Structures are given as C-alpha cells and as structure tokens.
C-alpha cells in the first residue's frame, strides 16, 4: 500500500510492515476535509485485513498535527444547502467511522502530535493506542466556543481518560492543554521535548512492530470491550483471545525464547 499525497492532503505509505498515514495540508493546518477523512477510513479498513502489517503510525508533515474538521470545505459559499439531517446521516460513516476504526483495528496505533490537535484532531490522538506529543503542542476541544456540540467520540473518550470533572473542563470550558499537561493528566501516553519527538515515536513504533502482532491486537480488543462489560464477560473475552493467541507462531517462539533464555524474535504470525 503506497499512495502519494492526493488532493485531500493525506499520504498513505507502507514501510517495513508499518502503515504510515501522514496529514499534508500545511496551509489549512492539516484540517480534515470529508475527502481526507474518507481516505483515512479506507486505509484503516484495508489495514484491518492486511496480514503484512505490524503497526500503524499517524502524523503530520508540518508544524500542526490537525486543526480539526475543515468547515470551510464543507460550507463553501454558494453551495447548495444540505438536506435536513445531513450531518446526522454523514457523521457516522465519516468522522465517527474513523474513530471507531482507530479503536477497533487489531494493530497498535501510534500518533505523533506537534502543534495543534483540535476537535477531531484531538479525538484521533485520544483514540490511538499510544500518542506521543511534543511538549509545546496544544490539545483543544473548541466545539462549544464555536456554538455547537462535540462529536467524533469526545464525550466517550475524555471521561474515560481523565474523569468527568476534567472532561467537563475541556469540553464545557474549552481549556487548552499543552503536550506536557496532556501527559500529566493521563490524556496521552507521553510528552517529550520538541526535538526528541521523531526519535521517541520511531523507537515506540519499532518496538510495537517487532512484537507478537496477533496477541497485541487481541489484547487491545479485550481492553476496549472490557470498558462496557462485566468482569465475567471480560474474562470470557480473555479466554477466547488466549485460545487464539496460543495457536500463533509467535506464542511458540515466545515459549522457545523463554526456555532458551534469549529475547524472542516475533514475526507477527
């Protein structure tokens, strides 16, 4: 899978088993148009069934990660007024589908954030399995400051990550967080000095891409399912995942490496 940056401003490439999704619309601070969201959705859907992949990384090619949805692109002057219910019909298969895929794809997803991560850009960072941000980056939920309500999973993700009180502070009061504050709050995995971001992300992606891919994906799935289940249901899901992962070649390699007292060499099988 390798596609150069298209008119929608998303580059899709695969290098050494890692799917790289890069936002490349610097003049719009990488705001996402419907076309860009559709391109990301297609890439993630294809990744879900691509056995050659070991990890996914999301980043931008410029100073800002993503300034949110491109409302200029969706509200062009002189364009026909959408039918009543247009947002309700389109959002589930566009922005909401993107967030669902990031949480459901059975591959580890790493997000690198510089500059602004606002609106859906913030939600993408929260839905990734590991988000590493530069200390000077900014996380912001601008919805109510613009006079409308949150979308793209903000009201589900934030309370689970930082609790209800802080979720209200971010959504109702529109508080901005630096990358360092986001990490301190538990909103993201880690914040690093700006100059160290690329190295920290590459190191993390390499570690995940060399791991037991099936077991990683199944564990991710169990974690997300457990958020909405009972203990009994969660343990049943764990049993099913254990049955599958114990039949993998990586499981056999892990046992062999343990017996031979050496680091395992997983192949993602």
Tell me the DSSP string of 31-59.
PBPHHHHHHHHHHHHHHTT-TT--EEEEE
Mean pLDDT estimate for the chain: 91
Q: Calculate mean pLDDT across residues 26-53.
A: 95
Instruction: Answer yes or no: is 48 within a domain.
Output: yes
Tell me what pLDDT residue 8 has.
Answer: 83
Residue 82, pLDDT above cutoff 70: no
Q: What pLDDT, in 10s, does the model give residues 147-156? A: 888 999 999 9
CA neighbor of 43 nearest in space, from 70, 17, 10: 10
Find, among 186, 13, 173, 148, the residue nearest to 68 by Cα.
148
Same domain, yes or no: 133 and 234: no
Beta bridge partners of 190: 132
Q: What pTM was computed for the model? A: 0.90
pLDDT bin (cut points 50, 70, 90) of residue 69 is confident
Q: How confident is the model at residue 92 (pLDDT cuts 50, 70, 90)?
A: low
My answer on whether 204 and 220 are in the same domain is no
- pLDDT, mean of residues 62-71: 88
Least reliable range by pLDDT among 8-12, 62-66, 82-86, 219-223: 82-86
Residue 267 lies in a domain: no
- Read off the tokens for 130: 């590991």
Q: Are residues 20 and 97 in the same domain?
A: yes
Examine the domain organization and report whether 113 and 184 are in the same domain.
yes
Are residues 81 and 152 both part of a single domain? yes
91 and 170 part of one domain: yes
* Span 170-219, pLDDT tens digits: 999 999 999 999 999 999 999 999 999 999 999 999 999 999 999 999 99
Residue 100 scores a pLDDT above 70: yes
Q: Inform me whether the pLDDT recorded for 88 exceeds 90.
A: no
Q: Give residue 78's pLDDT band: very low, low, confident or very high (50, 70, 90).
A: low
Tell me: pLDDT of 124 over 60.
yes
Verify that 120 and 163 share a domain, yes or no. Answer: yes
Q: Establish if 76 belongs to a structural domain.
A: yes
Is 5 contained in some domain?
no
73 and 204 inside one domain? yes
Q: Of 125, 127, 137, 130, nearest to 110 (Cα)?
A: 130
What average pLDDT does range 113-121 have in this prediction?
Answer: 96
Question: Domains in the chain: how many in total?
Answer: 2
What is d(CA 32, CA 80) in angstroms, rounded to the nearest whole number? 21
Parallel, antiparallel, or unpaired for β 138-140 and 177-178? antiparallel
Predicted confidence at residue 72, as pLDDT, reads 53
Q: Give CA angle at 25 (43, 180), nearest 5°.
A: 90
Can you give the residue range of the structural domain that contains 117?
10-209
Angle between helices 213-226 and 249-259 (to 10 degrees): 110
The Cα 109–Cα 132 span in angstroms is: 11
For residue 218, the Cα-to-chain-centroid distance in whole angstroms is 17
């Amino acid at each position: 899978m390798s596609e150069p940056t298209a008119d929608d401003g998303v580059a899709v490439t695969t290098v050494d088993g890692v799917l790289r999704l890069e936002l490349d619309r610097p003049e719009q601070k990488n705001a996402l148009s419907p076309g860009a969201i559709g391109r990301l959705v297609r890439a993630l859907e294809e990744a879900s069934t691509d056995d050659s992949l070991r990890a996914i990384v999301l980043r931008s090619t410029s100073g800002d990660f993503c300034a949110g949805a491109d409302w200029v692109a969706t509200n062009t002057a002189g364009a026909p007024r959408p039918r009543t219910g247009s947002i309700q019909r389109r959002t589930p298969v566009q922005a909401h589908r993107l967030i669902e895929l990031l949480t459901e794809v059975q591959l580890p997803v790493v997000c690198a954030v510089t500059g602004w991560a606002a609106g859906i850009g913030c939600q993408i960072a929260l839905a990734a399995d590991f988000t590493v941000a530069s200390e000077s980056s900014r996380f912001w939920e601008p919805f109510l400051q613009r006079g409308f309500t949150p979308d793209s999973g903000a009201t589900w993700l934030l309370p689970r990550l930082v609790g209800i009180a802080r979720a209200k502070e971010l959504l109702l009061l529109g508080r901005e967080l630096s990358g360092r504050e986001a990490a301190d709050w538990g909103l993201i995995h880690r914040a690093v000095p700006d100059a160290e971001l690329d190295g920290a992300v590459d190191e993390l992606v390499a570690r995940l891409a060399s791991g037991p891919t099936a077991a990683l994906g199944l564990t991710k799935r169990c974690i997300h399912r457990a958020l909405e289940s009972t203990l009994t249901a969660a343990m049943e899901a764990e049993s099913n995942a254990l049955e599958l992962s114990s039949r993998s070649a990586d499981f056999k390699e892990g046992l062999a490496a343990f017996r031979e007292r050496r680091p395992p060499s997983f192949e993602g099988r």
